[in-house]
A and B are shown apart, each in its own frame.
Chain A
């Protein structure tokens, strides 16, 4: 069955430091996609980065990169040079088919990141 696990409910990081948010997943599918979303205090959901299961390179988007370790079923988000505006909830998500003809997306429980000035 699909499952996403985020084991860090909350993290505090000093401004300008790098931070890694953990995400592990479980699926029986060979083809799937992994996503990270950011939810600031305003409540909107903002897409950050995507990694496909067959992508050989780790995905990068500006200060965001995804440390994808397929054998370990982990997809950690790395934020380099953190900024005060990075303070938010971060959700890991996975899209797969689980034997169906269509795919659906499930989310982890989230990590609340707080950046200290």
Chain B
């Protein structure tokens, strides 16, 4: 069982560079989301998607783009990386987009450093 797969696990960027964090799930989950984790701030929601072709902003969307062309994939794009985007990024998914009892399944995280 692959579950939620995130790549890469580690990445170092220079300010202004662009990159895409990949996230894929093989559980046919409707709901997918991206969080960033910073010390003292917990996990903050960046963007989320409730199905192919449907995305919405979370708490901290600025500087990030997402798209959802398939049910399985939900990539996160940094168009012009900034040091403030240094963080640990988690992708997470759940089966239903509406159920309140639907827990999240998490990827293993990506540690991103922007110099």
Contact = CB atoms under 8 A, between A and B. Distances in A.
B43 A91 contact: yes
For this complex, into which size category does the number of interface residues on chain B fall? 20 to 34
Contacts of B95: none
B100 A107 contact: no
Given A32-B100, A95-B100, A96-B100, A102 B108 contact: no
A6 B42 contact: yes
A43 B108 contact: yes
Interface string B37-72: 000111111001010000010110000000000000
A53 interface: yes
Given A9-B40, A105-B33, A107-B35, A45 B106 contact: yes
Interface of A: 4, 6, 9, 31-33, 35, 43-45, 47, 50, 52-53, 91, 93, 95-97, 100-110
